[in-house]
Structure 1
């Protein structure tokens, strides 16, 4: 009886040159099982589990046993590796390629005969790359020795593994200005600072970004990758508007090391809204913190929308009394986005926070002289450089009016 083998992890130059598939080695015969008359029926053993560090080589073997009633005259053995793994070297008799989703494949022809009840042993070797983390290995042959299909059975198996490494998820929020009653887009991001790439190979608890819509705003347009979040998971189709909380994840459930995913929401600002905040969090679709993320300090970030509410008009510059001016509680912004989301605003919920900073847009009128109003909203970009998003001005010698509306956007965390 063949003993269960422990994985061997090696980093020496000799083993980096190890083959992915080598010549089959005969082992002791096993009793034949019932099979279709005159047909081989091949079964392979399971590879031992492993958790290699980047740079290590996995060196194990599987046993191929013929439980049929006829000999298998030559077999095709295939190995496939996800993108964080690779073959140490090319071996004669094997054809190598890269197929969809960056999967590396070796298709090897083993020139051997396996009689009914007999077995052969063949090695499976691979190395962990610097970006290794959530990986899978497919290995085996077809029931009669042909190349395996896409499913898994006794002759074609799959090993999932998690490398001894990590990935650092980073949530990136947004900082912007809007006017009450207006619309404003916000873009939030999920970044993978590595070193490992991310694609869950074992469950449907995929890496995701949780988005809490700021209080006093309504999500009018929602990315299709973002679904409403219920008590403990997604609770509706992606793109559903007017919910308080969303969970967003990539369609292919994959985030490479160094990759940033962006999700843009169009928000309706309520007429009575004040400066408000929401939150984004790096997590999973079921809001479970991933074990591979060892740095939770950058998992959360803020969505902040500054909404000006007060304005003091400037002094009159000529004779006559000023009767106009004052603050505005709403109105449209000349720098805003004119996209019209479907439906009517029904309100939104979310985490509240932040205090309103002073700023305004105002229109004044005068009689009997020349009046003026003066207002300015500083705009700062993510790198500290002033950005002017929109402005409009009109002046006249008598009864002059100045109107200015601006937008400000500051990234609250570094973006790629």
Structure 2
């Protein structure tokens, strides 16, 4: 990890005209740190770069605390003397290190930021630096003394769609589940864009969505087009905290009313993004699509047969006549990985009564108030009748 190597005084000279001496009560340090270069390390590769801490103030800085924080796809190398290591909220690795040299006004010292990319590293962020006076950095915000570096590990993550199959008669209400799964090897937490991983859900023809998860919005021309509500042919669903662990599944339960007379009707689920753009980190498009299939028997009780499409571990279940084979109701859930549940209750039905349990809100990241990796890419779904607020593919807040 981070080795703190004291450097000599850099470029301290005597000016031709002495500046007025600062009043003792006004003198204080003003520390700034140099910017780290970006990189694309491979899993298992170590990043090791120097950082210069310079005192632009009028008083010496002593007992300077240098802090480094790493998202979960990165980890520190061997512990360094003078550093205390902890894991804070959302599995963020933190090192608090004491620099062993007083930094006089105009002087600089050099330290190193060192970490290794893990096998699940992908879209990562590093925070590093100190407070302006040498105390630990403020709980939020970045400036010239405390900086943020976004980097991408040379890795992939495989988003897979999982469909569902049900059997119902005309006029029935039936529940189907559409699922988005991360098969890894990288975890996904994109904090540099609001084009987050999403699941496109096309409602089978001959059915109508009467209850919809709150995390699913109608899809317009090129993105979400309004609040969650029944009656639309296509939806896009996404997780509010925009995080998908390796092995994690996000499931979204829809209640459909069957309007077709008989036969098999199919819809589709597709692993994509909220703007229906295939993520660059997903190099395996073969499992991006799966089917939502409803078998509607004729008067003799027979159907056209067939199987529903699925990916990875296959379809998520079979339902019929409004039964709930998964023990859930309209809404979303997440499983696997290290995350909690994602959830949402649907919109109102159209005249038919379907009892659904209202799930709780999404599990938050539990982020520290310093909002490590609080990217600017949040997609906000407004459910009070207003349109979804979307700021298309914004960049994250740059270091000031």
**Contiguous gaps of at least 5 residues in structure 1:** 1-18, 314-332, 347-416
- Structure 1 pair 306/161, CA: closer, same or farther in 2 (3 Å)? same
Determine helix, strand or coil for the equivalent of 2:90.
helix
Tell me the equivalent position of 1:337. 323
CA distances 1:216-250 after superposition (whole Å, capped 9, x unpaired): 2111111122122111111223x422221111111
Residue 147 (structure 1) shift? 0.3
- Name the CA shift for 1:200/1:273 in 2 (closer, same or farther; >3 Å): farther
1:151 corresponding residue in structure 2: 141
Residues 272-319 of structure 1 deviation map (CA, whole Å, 9 limit, x = unaligned)? 465211111111111111000011111111111111124189xxxxxx
CA distance in 1, matches of 2:321, 2:276: 36
**Matches of 1:236 and 1:30 in 2, distance apart?**
60
Deviation at 1:24, TM superposition (A): 3.3
Q: Does 1:69 align with 2:58?
A: yes
Distance change >3 Å, CA 144–CA 226, structure 1 → 2: same
Q: CA RMSD in A?
A: 2.7
Shift of 1:196: 0.4
Higher RCO (C-alpha 8 Å, min separation 6): 2
Whether 1:212 and 2:198 are equivalent positions in the alignment is: no
Counterpart mapping for 1:11-410 below 5 A? 19-26=1-8, 28-29=10-11, 37-149=26-138, 150-237=140-227, 239-270=228-259, 272=261, 274-311=263-300, 335-337=321-323, 342-344=348-350
State the partner residue of 1:328.
Answer: none
Structure 1 contact 97–106 (Cα < 8 Å) conserved: yes
Deviations 1:181-227 (A, max 9, x none): 00000011111111100000211111111111111211111112212
Contact 2:261 2:298 survives alignment (8 Å): no
Residue 221 and residue 241 in structure 1: after superposition, are their counterparts in 2 closer, same or farther (change >3 A)?
same
Larger radius of gyration: 1
CA distance in 2, matches of 1:69, 1:288: 52
Q: Please list the CA deviations of residues 86-118 of structure 1 after superposition, one character each: whole Å capped at 9, or x if unmatched.
A: 001212211111111110100111121111111
Distance 2:73 2:320 in 1: 49
Q: Give the TM-score taking structure 2 as reference length.
A: 0.72
Give 1:345 deviation, angstroms. 6.8
Secondary structure of the equivalent of 1:275?
Answer: strand
- Tell me if structure 1 keeps the 8 A contact 2:197–2:274: yes
Q: Distance in 1 between matches of 2:301 and 2:55?
A: 89
SS of the equivalent of 1:111 reads coil
Please give the alpha-carbon distance, in whole angstroms, between the structure 1 residues aligned to 2:196 and 2:285.
17
Q: Which runs of 5+ in 2 are unaligned?
A: 303-318, 331-346, 353-400
Residue 335 (structure 1) shift: 4.8
TM-score (norm 1): 0.69
CA separation of 1:191 and 1:343: change in aligned 2, threshold 3 A: closer
